[in-house]
Amino acid sequence: MTYPDERPEWVYRDDCGSYSQFRWSLRCKNDRDIVQLVVKHNTCLNSLFMQPYCTNCQMRETWHQPCTTPEDVFFALAIQPTDICNDAIQPLVQHSYSVNSVTISAYLAHMPRAKYSVTKSLKNNDRTRKKMLELKAKIKARVYELNLKADAEAAKSMHQQEQIAYDSLQSINVTDPITLLTLGSMATDMSELLNTCELIAELK
Ligand SMILES: [Zn+2]
């Protein structure tokens, strides 16, 4: 999905949230929530899976420094019946990935609660609000940075696979016509693969 701040469908909920949790609503025509999207900024202390604490988290009592290995997890909460939610969210989804059951249960265990009414924020002063928006912007920057890194890794591994395929093509000793025939079709596959890669690169 595109980051919720970039899509007009997601309404940022400045009436709720905290320093570590931000929320957007996907609404229907009569302004009722269909799906709520929540991002939770987890430090080592409350990460989805147990991990060794970073130095800042180990020393949090004395240093009061932010976690250096946080995770930002997005949750989509169904407010309306499932079929309505699915229809509303489907156009916003670009790719879906399957995850294992361990990840699913960790995800469900950390699921935040849905907010059914507009809440009056207790921390309503300007300073708090400003600080919250700064943290929200930091999460966004981090998500973008991680996505760029993941894209670069994927491109690198694709390039390596191409190189391996190319090297193995080079190392085959071509003597008989059947090998030549096979090589011919492999070469076509390779150029198709390369074209597909370029196409993907263009789309991005
Ligand atoms: Zn940490």
In a domain, residue 198? The reply is yes
DSSP state of 35: E
> Same domain for 103 and 159?
no
Name the domain count of the chain.
2
In a domain, residue 141? The reply is no
> Same domain for 94 and 8?
yes
CA of 47 to the centre of ligand 1 (A): 9
CA of 185 to the centre of ligand 1 (A): 52
In a domain, residue 126? The reply is no
In a domain, residue 43? The reply is yes
16 pLDDT band, cuts 50/70/90, is: confident
With contact defined as beta carbons under 8 Å apart, do 151 and 204 qualify? yes
The pLDDT tens digits of the residues spanning 24-39 come to: 999 998 899 999 999 9
With contact defined as beta carbons under 8 Å apart, do 131 and 19 qualify? yes
CA of 51 to the centre of ligand 1 (A): 9
The model carries a pTM of 0.74
CA of 119 to the centre of ligand 1 (A): 30
3-class state of residue 48 by DSSP: coil
Which residues neighbour 17 within 8 Å (Cβ) at sequence distance 6 or greater? 23, 121, 132, 136
CA of 50 to the centre of ligand 1 (A): 11
Q: Which two tokens stand for residue 176?
A: 């008989």
Q: Give residue 164's domain range.
A: 148-203
CA distance 76 to 143: 17
In a domain, residue 138? The reply is no
The pLDDT tens digits of the residues spanning 83-115 come to: 999 999 999 999 999 999 999 999 999 999 998
> Same domain for 24 and 111?
yes
In a domain, residue 123? The reply is no
In a domain, residue 143? The reply is no
Q: Which two tokens stand for residue 46?
A: 């409350």
> Same domain for 186 and 101?
no
160 pLDDT band, cuts 50/70/90, is: confident
Q: Using the predicted structure, report yes or no on whether residue 169 has a pLDDT greater than 80.
A: no
CA distance 20 to 11: 18
78 pLDDT band, cuts 50/70/90, is: very high
The pLDDT tens digits of the residues spanning 38-60 come to: 999 999 999 999 889 999 999 99
